[in-house]
């Protein structure tokens, strides 16, 4: 499994190509295509399910906010690009998606990121934020019966961008842009 601060662009998986349904086309992509920008990977179990469309619709709602912070979003399931297209054409919620919908039918990406459920052939709900250097800065994993919050994901991205741009500062719990940050030092020990 990928670990915090691990650079994915140093791994073989970064140069592995995969298919995605995006802008009414099937495209070949690689994780290394996103070097130099923030990247958010949203793994989910399967198309035509119950919780998944609520999460992806919410991610679509915040997509322009992610883009403003220099991030691309990729949703990833073990379905094929043809299933992604059919779901996109059929579901009003999924039709709102403007980001690439990645096909991982062999589970290769899911296995690399530690989200793959071998006995089911699907992924857990895993979310990964990679910085422009390909370093993993945040991730979360959910049981498939629990949906994620795209609003919280956006908050985490804001914090990750802030920390990268303001060396020596850290973001406390529930930090949002404009709120106070901390500068770790011995003077703060025991005073928070």
Q: Catalytic: which of 13, 20, 39, 52? A: 52
Parallel, antiparallel or unpaired: strands 38-43 and 125-130: antiparallel
> Residue 171 catalytic?
no
Catalytic residue numbers read 52
């Amino acid at each position: 499994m990928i670990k915090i601060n691990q650079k994915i662009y140093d791994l073989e998986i970064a140069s592995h190509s995969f298919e995605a349904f995006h802008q009414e086309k099937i495209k070949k992509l690689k994780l290394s295509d996103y070097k130099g920008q923030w990247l958010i990977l949203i793994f989910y179990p399967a198309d035509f399910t119950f919780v998944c469309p609520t999460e992806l619709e919410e991610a679509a709602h915040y997509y322009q906010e992610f883009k403003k912070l220099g991030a691309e979003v990729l949703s990833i399931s073990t379905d094929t690009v043809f299933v992604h297209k059919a779901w996109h054409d059929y579901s009003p919620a999924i039709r709102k998606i403007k980001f690439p919908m990645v096909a991982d039918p062999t589970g290769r990406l899911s296995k690399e990121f530690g989200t793959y459920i071998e006995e089911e052939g699907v992924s857990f709900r895993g979310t990964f934020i990679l910085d422009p250097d390909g370093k993993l800065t945040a991730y979360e994993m959910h049981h498939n019966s629990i949906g994620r919050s795209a609003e919280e994901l956006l908050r985490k991205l804001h914090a990750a961008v802030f920390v990268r741009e303001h060396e020596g500062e850290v973001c406390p719990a529930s930090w949002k842009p404009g709120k106070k940050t901390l500068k770790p030092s011995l003077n703060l020990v025991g005073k928070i």
